């Protein structure tokens, strides 16, 4: 397995951890009965639970693009020290994104998001060169 695929596995595990956190905070706000229901009437999450949920949804989008980048690099046999470092940068940034989003510190999560997104974009461009 390439280093990028290993890092992608860690990113997927991070997604599971975020999902568990979102369920925990969401159920604390809406109740387990609502969480176990069909949720036909949506209850918007607010405050901390809302931020945890939005961070999770943001990672779904970021993880899809990162997965594409890892697959292109791996299947194209384009793994380099740069792509490996970019993969690590993505993972570290995404791990930092969760507490940054939850804390609500202005601009911090945007800077971290930019690092992760830039790392993914760099991997894609590197694979084309």
| 17-43 average pLDDT score | 86
Closest C-alpha to 101, from 56, 69, 70: 56
pTM of the model: 0.91
Residue 39 located in a structural domain: no
Whether the predicted pLDDT of 129 surpasses 90? no
CATH of the domain at 51: 1.20.120.550
DSSP 76: T
Whether the predicted pLDDT of 13 surpasses 90? yes
Task: Find where tokens 């697959």 sit.
Answer: 71
Tens of pLDDT, residues 32-90: 887 777 878 888 889 999 999 999 999 999 999 999 999 999 999 999 999 999 999 99
Residue 10 located in a structural domain: yes
Task: Find where tokens 């790392």 sit.
Answer: 119
Cβ neighbours, 10 Å, residue 19 = 14
| Domain encompassing residue 83 | 3-34+45-128
Q: How much is the mean pLDDT over the chain? A: 94
Residue 95 located in a structural domain: yes
Count of the separate structural domains present in the chain: 1
- Asked if 67 and 59 touch (Cβ cutoff 8 Å), the reply is no
- Residues 71 and 18: their CA atoms lie apart, in Å, by 23
Could you give the residue ranges of the DSSP H alpha helices within the chain? 3-30, 32-36, 47-75, 81-103, 108-128
Residue 12 located in a structural domain: yes
């Amino acid at each position: 397995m390439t280093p990028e695929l290993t890092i992608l596995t860690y990113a997927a595990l991070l997604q599971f951890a975020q999902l568990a956190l979102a369920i925990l905070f969401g159920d604390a706000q809406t109740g387990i009965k609502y969480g176990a229901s069909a949720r036909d009437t949506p209850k918007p999450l607010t405050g901390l639970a809302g931020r945890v949920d939005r961070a999770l949804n943001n990672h779904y989008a970021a993880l899809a693009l990162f997965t594409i980048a890892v697959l292109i690099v791996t299947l194209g046999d384009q793994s380099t020290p740069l792509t490996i470092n970019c993969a690590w940068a993505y993972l570290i940034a995404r791990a930092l994104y969760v507490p940054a989003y939850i804390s609500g510190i202005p601009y911090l999560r945007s800077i971290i998001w930019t690092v992760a997104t830039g790392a993914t974009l760099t991997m894609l461009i590197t694979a084309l060169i």
